[in-house]
Amino acid sequence: MNSPGTPTQDLVRLTAAQLAQVMIAKDVSAVEVVQAHLGRIDGVDEALHAFLARNDEGALATAREVDAARARGEELSPLAGVPIAVKDVACTAGLVTTAGSRILQGWIPPYDATVVRRLREARMPILGKTNMDEFAMGSSTEHSAYGPTRNPWDTSRIPGGSGGGSAAALAGFEAPLAIGSDTGGSIRQPAAVTGTVGTKPTYGGVSRYGIIALASSLDQIGPCARTVLDTALLHEVIGGYDALDSTCLDAPVPPVVAAARQADVRGMRVGILRELAGEGYQPGVQQRFDEAVTLLQAAGAQIVDVSCPHVSYAVAAYYLILPSEASSNLARYDAMRYGLRVRPAGVAAPSAEQVMAATRDAGFGDEVKRRVILGTYALSSGYYDAYYGQALKVRTLIAQDFAAAFEQVDVLISPTSPITAFGIGEKIDDPLAMYLLDLATIPANLAGIPGLSVPIGLAPEDGLPVGLQILAPAMADERLYTVGAAIERDLQHVWGGSLLDRIPDVSMPAAFLPDLRTTSKESA
Ligand code: GLN
């Protein structure tokens, strides 16, 4: 593997840590690494549709800079030259950014999000922008205005959402690393259903500057990868204080890489969250979860049963708080300043309001409209206290429950998603069923605490990946990596290798796949 001329096929299967190593050893150049990934995208993305925009020239230019700097003997950042895919929710100067919405079709931001600036400073080639549910609303990536992304494990199924593009790019070996955003689970749930790893850091742990806002008190940017160590390496590149985001924590990035390398759970108290255990899970999800618990116990962790009673109300509170904040954040798409502008048909001299209405009608999909209406209603005077005010109180109770739980245990665990990847089109007409998929991930966003999803095997009934979620107290993100890396290491022994070696070959011509771009009805 380390010999010169590593075949392209092998390069895309290396982890970010391995890629960094072979480049430092000068076995391969950064340009070769980028070319290998661009070639892979050429081969499979017609089938997967993980990318909305590609940045071939930009990625190659960064790679050339890395090779030149390395040749001059300059000291480079640990991930220099390692390519990355960025969720289309992050502004990229000069590169089209849409948040999966028609209202931003073709929009080119004049500036970089802080997270993107940090990737550039670390000289990581940006391969392109990944598909997502419109404005990050969804759990399947079917709400993208540009058509769904497919799951590399089974291309008739969803890759999770809203960050399905980033997760599919990883599982499809199109990129070793990706950026995601998590407002209610959009990093963790896609990781779970694609057999990859993803972290929602502590709220404020990564800057939100230049991220297209969904719900500002819940939104968190985070790292996605195929291994726990890679996720930690990326976490350290993007994390840390940023004066441009007033909610950013002024504290050092938790020592996540050291934790991932150490992976020692001996003596750790691991709580099983009673409200997120047992009922409602697919049998294979529950089975793999129980096995992972046994594994942790064998590795020296102490397993404790913990209750957070108000967690049961998290989904209800979230679907008042999120639409309220989203309806307010999305008011900026007014057809006046940037983005789409539609003139209403048959009106000779339309008013600003008429243009706004026509633009928002044409530019937003069904799910976005649903949430704008919900949020506007919840915030209206007369209903504010009954809905939004109550939801905020529940949010406080959930945060207090977690604080009490973390007096007893170091981390909490649960399955990440109650079910494995479902079929494209299966739940698109049932918003409530879709909302319930996030019952295990939403509580962390409400409480501001960090969470990580790590693969724990395939469900026996359908052969699809299952994820385990780890939660830790705010600013103790390193604990996620300690536990995640221990599970990953011990499961590798059980499986005799990496889970991802079992992904079926997706390099199938798109012509053989059904056209799914019409499944999300008029919103597609
Ligand atoms: N699926 C959740 C929602 O639809 C989470 C979204 C997210 O984390 N961005 O709101």
Mean pLDDT lowest for which of 169-178, 347-356, 380-389, 458-467?
Answer: 380-389
Q: Which of the four pLDDT bands, split at 50, 70 and 90, describes residue 6?
A: low
Q: What is the DSSP string of 358-384?
A: HHHHHHS-HHHHHHHHHHHHHHSTTTT
- Could you report the per-residue pLDDT of 269-297, keeping only the tens digit for each? 999 999 998 778 999 999 999 999 999 99
Going by C-alpha positions, the residue among 426, 435, 474, 425 that lies closest to residue 451 is 474
- Could you report the per-residue pLDDT of 407-420, keeping only the tens digit for each? 999 999 999 999 99
Percent of the chain with pLDDT over 90: 89
Q: Are 293 and 285 in contact (CB under 8 A)?
A: no
> What pLDDT score was predicted for residue 521?
38
Q: Which of the four pLDDT bands, split at 50, 70 and 90, describes residue 505?
A: confident
Please return the burial class of 509, using the count of CB atoms within 10 Å of its CB with bins 0-12, 13-18 and 19+. Answer: exposed
> What pLDDT score was predicted for residue 511?
41
Region 347-370: mean pLDDT is 96
The DSSP 8-state label assigned to residue 212 in this structure reads: P
Q: Are 176 and 14 in contact (CB under 8 A)?
A: yes
- Could you report the per-residue pLDDT of 254-268, keeping only the tens digit for each? 999 999 999 999 999
139 pocket-lining for ligand 1 (C-beta < 6 Å): yes
> What pLDDT score was predicted for residue 8?
65
Q: Are 47 and 510 in contact (CB under 8 A)?
A: yes
Query: Is 87 tagged catalytic?
Result: yes
166 pocket-lining for ligand 1 (C-beta < 6 Å): no
Region 228-233: mean pLDDT is 98
Residue 221 bridge partners (DSSP): 181
Q: What is the DSSP string of 32-46?
A: HHHHHHHHHHHHHHH
> What pLDDT score was predicted for residue 7?
65
Query: Is 216 tagged catalytic?
Result: no
Ligand 1 atom at shortest distance from the alpha carbon of 437:
1
Dihedral sign from CA coordinates of 153, 158, 160, 162: positive
Q: Around 264, how many Cα atoms within 13 Å sit in the side-chain half-sphere? A: 4
Going by C-alpha positions, the residue among 66, 84, 414, 29 that lies closest to residue 230 is 84
Q: Which two tokens stand for residue 204?
A: 């404020």
CB crowding 61-71: b at 16 or more within 10 Å, else e: ebbebbbebbe
447 pocket-lining for ligand 1 (C-beta < 6 Å): no
Q: Are 470 and 409 in contact (CB under 8 A)?
A: no
Residue 136 alpha carbon to ligand 1 centre in Å: 6
Task: Determine the residue of 143, 183, 439, 441 to mutate for testing ligand 1's pocket, defined as the one with the most ligand atoms within 8 A of the Cβ atom.
Answer: 183
Residue 424, CA distances (Å) to 133, 146, 154, 345, 431 in order: 13, 14, 10, 34, 14
Maximum alpha-carbon separation in the chain: 74
Region 386-404: mean pLDDT is 97
Region 121-131: mean pLDDT is 98
Going by C-alpha positions, the residue among 99, 164, 199 that lies closest to residue 444 is 199
- Could you report the per-residue pLDDT of 83-110, keeping only the tens digit for each? 999 999 999 999 999 999 999 999 999 9
- Could you report the per-residue pLDDT of 362-389, keeping only the tens digit for each? 999 999 999 999 999 999 988 889 999 9
> What pLDDT score was predicted for residue 452?
98
> What pLDDT score was predicted for residue 146?
98
Residue with tokens 């050092």: 252
> What pLDDT score was predicted for residue 332?
96
Residue 116 alpha carbon to ligand 1 centre in Å: 22
Asked if residue 192 has pLDDT above 50, the reply is yes
Q: Are 76 and 66 in contact (CB under 8 A)?
A: yes
138 pocket-lining for ligand 1 (C-beta < 6 Å): yes
Q: Which amino acid is at 64?
A: R
CB crowding 161-196: b at 16 or more within 10 Å, else e: bbbbbbbbbbbbbbbbbbbbbbbbbbbbbbbbbbbb
Asked if residue 494 has pLDDT above 90, the reply is no
132 pocket-lining for ligand 1 (C-beta < 6 Å): no
Mean pLDDT of all residues in the chain? Answer: 94
Query: Is 101 tagged catalytic?
Result: no
Residue 221 alpha carbon to ligand 1 centre in Å: 13
